[in-house]
Amino acid sequence: MAAGQDQTELNSIKLTLVFYALAMVLKLAGFFATGIMVLLADALHSVSDILVFGILLIASGWARKEADIGHMFGHERAQNAAALVAATLFIFVTSFSLLREAVPGLFQPKESAFQRPEVALAVIGGAMVLQAVPIIRLFLQKERTAAGKATLLEGLNDQLSTVAALIGTLFVMRGVPIIDPSATIFVAILIALNGARLFAENFSFLVGRSPGEDFMNTVRQTAYSVSGVKDVHELRAEYVGPKKVHVVIHLTARPELTLKEAHRIMEEVRDKIHLQITLQGTYCYIQIEPE
**Residues 6 or more apart from 125 whose CB is under 8 A from it?**
none
The pLDDT score that the predictor gives to residue 112 is 47
- Span 227-268, pLDDT tens digits: 888 888 888 888 887 678 888 888 888 888 888 888 888 888
Q: Taking Cα atoms as reference points, which of 253, 247, 249 lies closest to residue 212?
A: 247
Homologous superfamily of the 3-206 domain (CATH):
Cation efflux protein transmembrane domain (1.20.1510.10)
Rounded to whole angstroms, the Cα distance separating 32 from 11 reads: 32
**Residues 6 or more apart from 70 whose CB is under 8 A from it?**
none
CB atoms under 10 Å from CB of 119, counted, come to: 16
Homologous superfamily of the 213-290 domain (CATH):
Cation efflux protein, cytoplasmic domain (3.30.70.1350)
Rounded to whole angstroms, the Cα distance separating 182 from 179 reads: 5
At 6, the pLDDT band (50, 70, 90 cuts) reads low
How far, rounded to the nearest angstrom, does the alpha carbon of residue 98 sit from its chain's CA centroid?
22
Within 13 Å, how many C-alpha atoms sit on residue 188's CB side? 22
- Span 116-128, pLDDT tens digits: 777 888 888 898 8
Cβ pair 57, 21 in contact under 8 A? no
CB atoms under 10 Å from CB of 72, counted, come to: 10
- CA dist 202 → 148, 198, 206, 208, 273 (Å): 13, 6, 6, 10, 26
Rounded to whole angstroms, the Cα distance separating 250 from 126 reads: 60
Q: CA gyration radius for the chain?
A: 25
pTM of the model: 0.58
Q: Taking Cα atoms as reference points, which of 248, 239, 289 lies closest to residue 270?
A: 248
213-290: same fold as 3-206? no
Sequence spans of domains, the chain: 3-206, 213-290
Rounded to whole angstroms, the Cα distance separating 281 from 1 reads: 10
- Span 263-286, pLDDT tens digits: 888 888 888 888 877 655 667 878
DSSP track, 234-252: EEEEEEEETTEEEEEEEEE
Rounded to whole angstroms, the Cα distance separating 167 from 186 reads: 11
Does position 79 have pLDDT exceeding 60, yes or no? yes
**Residues 6 or more apart from 23 whose CB is under 8 A from it?**
46, 126, 127, 130, 131, 158
